[in-house]
């Protein structure tokens, strides 16, 4: 079941790896399905060695509906995000280095670059540390998301999300690009802020980007 969705998740996982957002088997990808169930990548498997059949189909309680693998250890956190943010269709959890580094030195990554405003929808906040696998990681993601499509997890990584899997992937990739630029600029001098009205205008422009 849901073979096309599983294939798209594996493609996104490999793209996440190509963009150096994770190493080996780090991170995870999850997707909401039309029937209210979910797909999630398996725990502890290297993405290049995975096939679509390794992706696990679960219900809203985390019980396995289809698949022979154990789902991601972060499943309780992921299900909390989906339950509390019904507009989210997919989530990508990464250990991307630049955004994680930014989370060690600031409490918020300001909306200071066009691609960040487009894909993240505004300032990206840093949530306090919580151990991997705990539901609280999902609760903190919800609390610190505000209007953005990503949250930096202090000492850990990033939770990126959006209405679609592509939105979540773009959020993660463009956040890393913005974080790298931010960290380089911050080492030289203060980061100038943008008028919130300009940020809102840029964010709105993304709604009309691409093909229908």
Query: What digits encode the pLDDT tens for the residues 132-145?
Result: 989 999 999 999 99
* Dihedral Cα 97, 10, 43, 70, nearest 10 deg: 160
Decide if 40 contacts 61 (C-beta within 8 A). Answer: no
- Of the candidate ranges 84-88, 90-94, 184-188, 192-196, the one whose mean pLDDT is the lowest: 192-196
- Hey, how many other C-beta atoms are within 10 angstroms of the C-beta on 87? 8
| Nearest CA among 101, 77, 102 for reference residue 161 | 77
- How many angstroms separate the CA atoms of 88 and 90, rounded? 6
Q: What CATH architecture does domain 3-207 belong to?
A: 3-Layer(aba) Sandwich (3.40)
> Can you tell me the distance from the alpha carbon of 127 to that of 129, in angstroms, rounded to the nearest whole number?
7
Strands (E), the chain: 28-32, 38-40, 56-58, 64-66, 90-94, 108-109, 124-127, 150-153, 157-162
Residue 212 has pLDDT above 80, yes or no: no
Q: What is the DSSP letter of 207?
A: G
Give the percent of the chain with pLDDT over 90. 87
Report pLDDT for 207. 79
């Amino acid at each position: 079941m849901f073979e096309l969705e599983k294939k798209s998740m594996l493609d996104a996982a490999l793209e996440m790896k190509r963009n150096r957002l994770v190493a080996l088997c780090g991170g995870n990808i999850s997707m909401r399905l039309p029937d209210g169930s979910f797909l999630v990548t398996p725990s502890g498997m290297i993405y290049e060695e995975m096939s679509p059949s390794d992706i696990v189909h679960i219900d809203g309680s985390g019980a396995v509906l289809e698949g022979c693998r154990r789902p991601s250890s972060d499943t309780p956190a992921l299900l909390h995000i989906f339950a509390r943010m019904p507009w989210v269709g997919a989530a990508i959890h990464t250990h991307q280095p630049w955004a994680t580094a930014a989370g060690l030195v600031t409490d918020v990554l300001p909306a200071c670059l066009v691609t960040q405003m487009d894909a993240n929808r505004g300032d990206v906040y840093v949530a306090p540390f919580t151990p991997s696998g705990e539901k609280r990681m999902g609760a903190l993601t919800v609390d610190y998301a505000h209007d953005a499509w990503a949250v930096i997890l202090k000492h850990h990584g990033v939770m990126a999300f959006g209405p679609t899997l592509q939105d979540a992937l773009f959020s993660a990739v463009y956040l890393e690009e913005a974080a790298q630029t931010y960290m380089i600029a911050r080492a030289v001098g203060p980061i100038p802020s943008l008028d919130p009205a300009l940020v809102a205008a840029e964010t709105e422009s993304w709604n009309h980007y691409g093909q229908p």
